[in-house]
Amino acid sequence: MSYRRPYRGTQPEYLFPPYASTVKRAPSQPLVVLPHTLSELTAPVFGYGEVKPGDSDLTKQHKGEPQGERIVVSGRVLDENSRPLPNLLIEIWQANAAGRYNHRVDQHDAPLDPNFTGAGRILTDAEGRYRFMTIRPGEYPWRNHYNAWRPAHIHFSLFGQAIVQRLITQMYFPGDPLLEYDPMFTCVPDVKARNRLVSTFDWETTMPEFALGYRFDIVLRGRDATPMETRR
Amino acid sequence: MSLRGSTSQTIGPYLRIGLEWMVIEDLAPQGVAGERVRIEGKVVDGDGKPVNDAAVEIWQANSHGKYASPEDSQDKPVEPAFRGYGRSLTDDAGSFRFRTLKPGRVPGPDGKPQAPHLTVTIFMRGLLKQLQTRMYFPDDTANADDAVLKLVPAERRATLVAKKRGDGVLEWNVVLQGKNETVFFDT
């Protein structure tokens, strides 16, 4: 048994010079192809004792309401074989509405919000669904190149049922004009794959007179249908 | 219908906001069977500079060679208090640390038992997808016959094996680039 290798172009390479931080951090030696053993085919399990129901509402972690536009971010986590992945830990983090992270490294001259930390977590339900209530994050400048700005995004970290399914990614917002200039977005050669990182506006989860809904489905690697094959 | 896997993106520099709540540097509470080990290391970039914004995650079997995962169907003892997962976020010196147990042996690609090892997953700003590697234990006679180590060019194998320091701590550093570059796996 093993997990499918990624389709060509759907994952970034380690070295992508337009994103300057890759230059000194990407491995320079060839990677060694590892057959999947029990060590790769297993993964830790997380429980309800660790993740509390309120952890998925980023607008209710302080005394007051955070500044900004409330949004609902929801979706499903599936594997490549369309199998929903239940009871799986998702961790998210993001900037506040002004585009400032609650982190000592972030020196962007935009206000911190005392009512917003920007961290959430949840376990997927039996159908692989998750739902966060949060604030639409702001865009912010960074020093990668002249006049560089990151499009609005939310960081997602996911554990799968196997270590090889572990995924950290970013969710973007539809129609963001900054996307085409962002090397973190354009590092993905396959344009369709890139665009799957953009959430879609969702009437179904939009709460009348309260919050817009955005849908973001996530697909983790699936088991290979032909387990004995060693195609590369 | 077949879907395509979502694309990886960098963890970025602000990982602590989302990941700090579940830092687990001490994996093995009192009473869990096995040989206690302390592991310390540094992550350094292609200029030899410490990486102060990496997440280092380990995953391992218990001392009987059994993973705390429903995907492990081996008939071996479980240790209910041992999950086998650790997460350390590097400090300003690029250092990470774990207190855990030496894992037992688990089956390898050839069906024979693998040498004891930790599965290590590394994320950081500047990495568009995670690095996957392994840490093996020094002076373990099983290392010589390990099927995975044999896949690695002989001159690079040492990068996957920790060194025992005078104080008993196992030191294992992650070198991202250049001379003594750590072996990373394509999984």
Q: pTM to 2 decimals?
A: 0.96
Residues of A in contact with B185 (CB under 8 A): 31-34
Q: What superfamily would CATH give domain A20-24+36-220? A: Aromatic compound dioxygenase (2.60.130.10)
d(C-alpha A79, C-alpha A220), whole Å: 5
Asked if A29 and B156 come within 8 Å (Cβ–Cβ), the reply is yes
pLDDT value at position B2?
A: 86
Q: B65 phi and psi, to 5 degrees? A: 85, 35
A3 has a pLDDT exceeding 80: yes
pLDDT value at position B63?
A: 98
A18 contact partners, CB below 8 Å, separation of at least 6? A144, A145, A183, A186, A187
Domain ranges of chain A: 20-24+36-220
The DSSP string of A16-46 is: -TTSGGGTTTS--SPPEE----HHHH-----
Tell me, yes or no, if B12 comes closer than 8 A to chain A by beta carbon: yes
pLDDT value at position B1?
A: 55
d(C-alpha A97, C-alpha A66), whole Å: 8
Interface of A with B in 160-179 (CB under 8 A): 161-164, 166-170
**Proportion of chain B above pLDDT 70, given as a percent:** 99
Interface of A with B in 88-107 (CB under 8 A): 91-93, 95, 101-103, 105-106
| Among the listed residues B13, B15, B39, the one whose alpha carbon sits nearest the alpha carbon of residue B25 | B39
Name residue B149's beta-bridge partners: none
Report the complex ipTM: 0.97
Q: A124 phi and psi, to 5 degrees? A: -65, 150
A216 contact partners, CB below 8 Å, separation of at least 6? A73, A74, A75, A156, A171, A199, A200
- Using alpha carbons only, what angle is made at residue B77 by residues B76 and B78, rounded to the nearest 5 degrees? 120
| Among the listed residues B20, B162, B28, the one whose alpha carbon sits nearest the alpha carbon of residue B89 | B20
Closest CB from B14, B61, B84 relative to A93: B14
| Among the listed residues A147, A141, A183, the one whose alpha carbon sits nearest the alpha carbon of residue A20 | A183
d(C-alpha B9, C-alpha A31), whole Å: 19
Q: A33 phi and psi, to 5 degrees? A: -70, 125
- List pLDDT tens digits, range A54-82: 999 999 999 999 999 999 999 999 999 99
Residues of B in contact with A45 (CB under 8 A): 68-70, 83
Asked if B67 and A21 come within 8 Å (Cβ–Cβ), the reply is no
d(C-alpha A157, C-alpha A159), whole Å: 7
Residues of A in contact with B61 (CB under 8 A): 38-39
Tell me, yes or no, if A84 comes closer than 8 A to chain B by beta carbon: no
* Domain B15-175, second-level architecture: Sandwich (2.60)
Each of the 187 residues of chain B gets a pLDDT tens digit; together they read 589 999 999 999 999 999 999 999 999 999 999 999 999 999 999 999 999 999 999 999 999 999 999 999 999 999 999 999 999 999 999 999 999 999 999 999 988 999 999 999 999 999 999 999 999 999 999 999 999 999 999 999 999 999 999 999 999 999 999 989 999 999 9
- Name the pairing type of β-strands B174-175 and A129-135: unpaired
Q: A8, A14, A39, A170: which to substitute to probe chain B, counting the most B Cβ within 10 Å?
A: A39
A157 contact partners, CB below 8 Å, separation of at least 6? A90, A91, A92, A167, A168, B11, B18, B19
- List pLDDT tens digits, range B103-127: 999 999 988 999 999 999 999 999 9
Name residue A79's beta-bridge partners: A220
The DSSP string of A186-221 is: HT-S-HHHHHTTB-EE-TTTPBTTTBEEEE--EEE-
- List pLDDT tens digits, range A17-43: 999 999 999 999 999 999 999 999 999
Domain ranges of chain B: 15-175
3-state per-residue secondary structure call for chain B: CCCCCCCCCCCCCCHHHHHHHHCECECCCCCCCCCEEEEEEEEECCCCCECCCEEEEEECCCCCCCCCCCCCCCCCCCCCCCCCEEEEECCCCCEEEEEEECCCCCECCCCCECCCEEEEEEEECCCCCCEEEEEECCCCHHHHHCHHHHHCCHHHHHHHECEECCCCCEECCEECCCCCCCCCEEC
